[in-house]
Structure formats: structure tokens, C-alpha cells
Amino acid sequence: MSDSRWAVVFGGPSPEHEISILTGLQAERVLSGTGAQVTPLYWAATGSWFVVPSGTEAKDYLEGPPPGARPVEVRVGADGGLFVKGRLRSEKLAIDAALSCLHGGVGEGGGFAALFALLGIPATGSSMYASALGMDKLAFGGVMTAAGIPTLPRVALEDDVEPPFVGPYIVKPRFGGSSIGIEIVEDIATARAIGRSSAHLRGGAVVEPFRKDLIDLNISFRTAPVLEVSDLEKPLRRPEGAVYSYDEKYLGGGAGAAAGLSSAPREFPAVVPDAVTERAGELARRVAAVTRLTGVVRVDFLYDEAAEELVVNEVNSVPGAMSLYLWAPRRPAGQVLTDALVEARDARATSAPSGFGSGAALRAAGGIAGKLVGLDGPRL
């Protein structure tokens, strides 16, 4: 039996809260099956934290934390960490590393990474900076373009700036998952109207050309113990479906599909020319290099079958079901998750830059009053 102490974190304030629960419960069972000590940590939609009993089911979370959940206090500071509240005192949780199963929102977008860095708890799901990049579709597209990685043109949806490409358009939340809040429109005026009315788009939206001739392909990469890519998958849309929707991805396969995605309609491995499979692996490795994303990541492509050309569409730093179904032909699920946790646990902390804390700037500053001169506005 392993003496490693892992935590599995799931839930979080996000539109993908329920899917995160399913991923977390799946991951908990996989890691428990390796003999490791596993602490399930539930981040409620309200923002509260709980240690929950092992082996809970999805239905146990319909009304919030399940029976037997114990409140957790988050402390930042010299004696920071996670503390389980007791009747007389709180007990600090001993955790070697935490597996992030947080989809979307502040959890996947860098907030969780920042919080656990402050708590001194190693965690998967990439750094704060890489996580934020993966969640920002506009920034991610810009990085792909700058790196020379093929991608569709993508611009911010603005009231007074016309896209440099013609419609029809696909409109997506700028900050969010890969399938929630997506709309297809014929003209930019409609895109703007939807952008103002949709709860998913009001926080920012991106526009890109909608091409019905392109199909979806997915691949996963993991960065430990070495950079490696999975087999390539082709998700299958319903015949009338225009895009690979949230329902198709998580609910279309019937009972159990949302928990593992393995029952969702798909072609695996994807039946495409060998050159396309090889190209997908090359592009996934390049995405890993330029984004610095770590752990287990999924890269989503759009594929032009006629031209046999691939473009990178999006990246998921915490993919649904941790992409374990993509790794199944190559690696056991327990190994995939354990390797990611060991990578997080053993990652070297970035040292402070030279000169940090030397006091040179403070000694040279003089009085603060002198730095306020001229800041009181124009003289009338």
C-alpha cells in the first residue's frame, strides 16, 4: 500500500460544477484503487470547503455537501493550510499533493493554483499563469498565432470593431469551458445582441469563423514522467448537430457518459491518415512547450478532411474525466493520475529573482510625501 497522501479536489464555483463532481468521484476511486490514502475535498458552489466521506455517489450532491461532510477552514499565512473543524479544535490536513478536478471558473482558470500555492500544498492543473492562459480563448489564440501554430482567426466581440473575416460566426465565452454558451450566428449584429443577453457571454466573448466542413479531433498530453501524447479521438456529433455541444459531450452517451465520457459517441482511435495522427501529436507537443501547461491536458483540434489539415482550436488544462479514457489503451488510469500528482509534489519551487528583498529600493525611496507631489490633480 502506498504511503502517499493525496487529495482530490472537485466542485467549485463554476457552470461546470456538476461535471467536476463526477470527475472528482471517478478520480477518487481510481486513486484509492492504487492503495494510496485519498482525501476527497469538495468545494461547494457557495465557496465553502468540505472533507467528504469516501465512496460518495453523484446523487449525494444534489442538495449540496453530502451527509457526513466536515467543514474545512482555509488558512493563509505562516501556519497556512486546510484545517478540518472539530468540536474542540481544528486538525490540519496532511496532504502531499492535490489533484485538481475543477472544471471551468476560478478553479481551472488559475485561482485554485494561486490559493494552493499560498497554502503551500502542491497541486496539479498547471501554474496560475498557464491555467489563466488556457482559460482565456482570446489570449490562447494569440499565443498560438505568435508561435506559428495553426489556428482559426479569433477576435474579441466588440460593439464598434468589425471582425476581419465574414460570417457565419461562432460566438464563445472568452473565459470558460469548451462547450457551454456557444452560439452560431449569420451576422455580427446578431452576435452582439446575443453577447449582451447571454449570461455566459456578458463577461466577454470571442468570435471566429464558423466552418461546418471542419470536424472535431481530440488528443491528450501529459508531462510526467516524460512528455507523452495519447491516441487521437474523433467525437461524433448528432447528424443535426452543428457543433460538439455540452449535452453531446457530457450527457449524450446516456447513463455514465458524464462520469467518464467513455460512453459518449466517438470514434477511437480516430480513423484518419497516419500523417494526420502524427501531426496531431506534433502540435500537442508544441502546445505543451509554448503554454507551459502541466499534468494531464486535452488539446482540441478542428480537421479539414478534404485538405487533411489540422488547426488547434482550444486547450483544456483540467479535461473532463481527466482524459483517462484517451489513455486507457496505453496507461492504467491509476498510473496517469499518480504520475501527475508526483510531478506536482516534486516540482521545484521557483526561487526569488536576484535582488528581491535586498532593501535597495526601500533605502533609496526617501519619504513617501515626496512621491505624492503633483498627484493632487490640476490646479484651477
pLDDT tens, position by position, 88-115: 788 999 999 999 999 999 999 999 999 9
| DSSP labels, 261-277 | STTSSEESS----HHHH
> CA dihedral defined by 318, 198, 187, 180, rounded to 10 degrees?
20
pTM: 0.90
CATH class of 153-210: alpha beta
Q: Kindly report which listed range (176-180, 210-214, 296-300, 341-345) carries the lowest average pLDDT score.
A: 176-180
Q: 5-125 — its CATH code?
A: 3.40.50.20
Task: For residues 285-300, give the mean pLDDT.
Answer: 98
Amino acid 261: pLDDT: 54
DSSP strand E in the chain: where? 5-11, 37-43, 49-51, 70-75, 81-84, 91-92, 97-100, 155-156, 169-173, 183-185, 205-209, 214-222, 228-229, 234-235, 266-267, 296-304, 309-316
More confident residue, 243 or 1: 243
Q: Where are the domains of the chain?
A: 5-125, 153-210
In the predicted structure, residue 189 carries a pLDDT above the cut 70: yes
In the predicted structure, residue 234 carries a pLDDT above the cut 90: yes
In the predicted structure, residue 256 carries a pLDDT above the cut 70: no
Give me the chain's average pLDDT, please: 90
298 phi, psi to nearest 5 deg: -115, 135
In the predicted structure, residue 137 carries a pLDDT above the cut 60: yes
In the predicted structure, residue 67 carries a pLDDT above the cut 80: yes
Q: Which grid coordinates are listed for 104?
A: 471551468
In the predicted structure, residue 4 carries a pLDDT above the cut 70: yes
The pairing of beta strand 97-100 with beta strand 5-11: parallel
